[in-house]
Amino acid sequence: MTTLREPRTNDGRLTLAQILETVTGGELPVRFTAYDGSSAGPTDAPYGLRLTSTRGTTYLATAPGDLGMARAYVSGDLEAEGVHPGNPYELLKALGDLHFQRPPALTLAQIARSLGLETLKPIAPPPQEHLPRWRRFAEGLRHSRSRDAEVIHHHYDVSNAFYERVLGPSMTYTCALFDSETQSLEDAQENKYRLVFEKLRLQPGDRLLDIGCGWGGMVRYAARRGVKVLGVTLSSEQAEWAQKAIAEEGLTDLAEVRFSDYRDVPETGFDAISSIGLTEHIGVQNYPAYFRRLHEKLREGGLLLNHCITRPVNRGPVKAGGFIDRYVFPDGELTGSGRIITEVQDVGFEVLHEENLRQHYALTLKGWCENLVADWDACVAEVGEGTARVWGLYMAGSRLGFERNVVQLHHVLAVKLGPDQEPNVPLRPWWVA
């Protein structure tokens, strides 16, 4: 394996490859080439990055780290080589633990001189990028009804046709449950709904509230089995799609998906509540109010199943990194499963069971990336190449995060007890894993 190390230019300026090596602290695990003719990294590496324009350099220089790289990549100024843009997983895996570091002041000055002042002037980010946190704070109270609706719209109201191609026929945008690594994504999503249904001990005639219901997959699964279901979502496009699917299946007497904030649901006395992939959006400081409201909506003896992406620890930062916050889940926050269990218990629930489905989410994301690659041209035609690149990068990176235990996925099952009441459930788990 040969690694290129180029001399400095005659006037003392650094090439782009030399600058990259300086700010990453050493050997690059992939091949890097740039429009100034410089290169670095193994010459025979199967994966690489190619910087194609000064705009890309500006993005990298003015937002060092994952945000700058995302901007350059989404805009098409940083090209991934050896992988498909719908699934850059192998490239991200090869990059490993590459981190940007701040060089000493004299080196920074040399880098600035090499790049030139014009290159260091911030420019507008790609149109797919959401407002920075300070602008969002200035324009609306965090996790107010209006702001939650706006950030949900940013992520979920992309295009139902796009989601149909990426998610597949189930239109399920949450972790599936795999019996084996070779099981189809569609069967695994059905398996997930079956698991939630069984954990909640739902029977014909029961009433289920599904909060953050997406396109109504859980709603329709339960309604097909005789359960009366209300689903709520802050995405108008999801609600419209779900209501149409309910009607097409002849489930309107049992199922409804409502375009509504969960805080505005007036009904109470539900036998069970499923919250599948919503807790990530509500803010960690809002957990007490959130679980208290769910507690109020259940009858005594009712069951809650909370399905949520978590961190592997309960302390430390809860906010997402720059790329995820600006391109994928604005205002999203994650914490450990222990914090969730604590908050569930503190509002009066008894926790019956919890489990980690981390490996299943890695397989789910793998399936979504494969769908995006298979229908890449149609997806690009639907939402544009920049947005399609965002999704490929986000899903491949998230898969790597679940594989490396950077993030997890936890089910927490709890029961609302009345005074001096024992939970009306079997002594041991009653569902099939």
**Among 62, 31, 36, which residue's Cα sits nearest to residue 49?**
31
Tokens of 208: 């289920």
Which CATH number among 1.10.10.10, 3.50.50.60, 3.10.450.50, 3.40.50.150 corresponds to the domain 149-416?
3.40.50.150
- Residue 95: its H or E element: helix 89-95
CA distance 420 to 135: 49
HSE-CB for 98 with a 13 A CA cutoff? 21
DSSP-based three-state secondary structure for 277? coil
Q: What is the pLDDT of residue 118?
A: 94
Assign 3-class secondary structure to 173-216. Answer: CCCCCCCCCCCCHHHHHHHHHHHHHHHCCCCCCCEEEEECCCCC
Q: Which residues contact 289 (CB under 8 A, 6 or more apart)?
A: none
pLDDT of residue 154: 47
Taking only the tens of pLDDT, the chain with its 433 residues reads 445 455 455 567 999 999 999 988 877 899 999 999 999 999 999 999 999 999 999 999 999 888 999 999 999 999 999 999 999 999 999 998 787 788 899 999 999 999 999 999 999 999 999 887 655 555 555 555 655 555 544 445 578 999 999 999 999 999 999 999 999 999 999 999 999 999 999 999 999 999 999 999 999 999 999 999 999 999 999 999 999 999 999 999 999 999 999 999 999 999 999 999 999 999 999 999 999 999 999 999 999 999 999 999 999 889 888 899 999 988 899 999 999 999 999 999 999 999 999 999 999 999 999 999 999 999 999 999 999 999 999 999 999 999 999 999 999 999 999 888 888 899 999 999 8
pLDDT value at residue 2: 47
Boundaries of every domain in the chain: 3-120, 149-416
Q: Which amino acid is at 26?
A: G
Find how far residue 240's CA is from the centre of its chain: 22
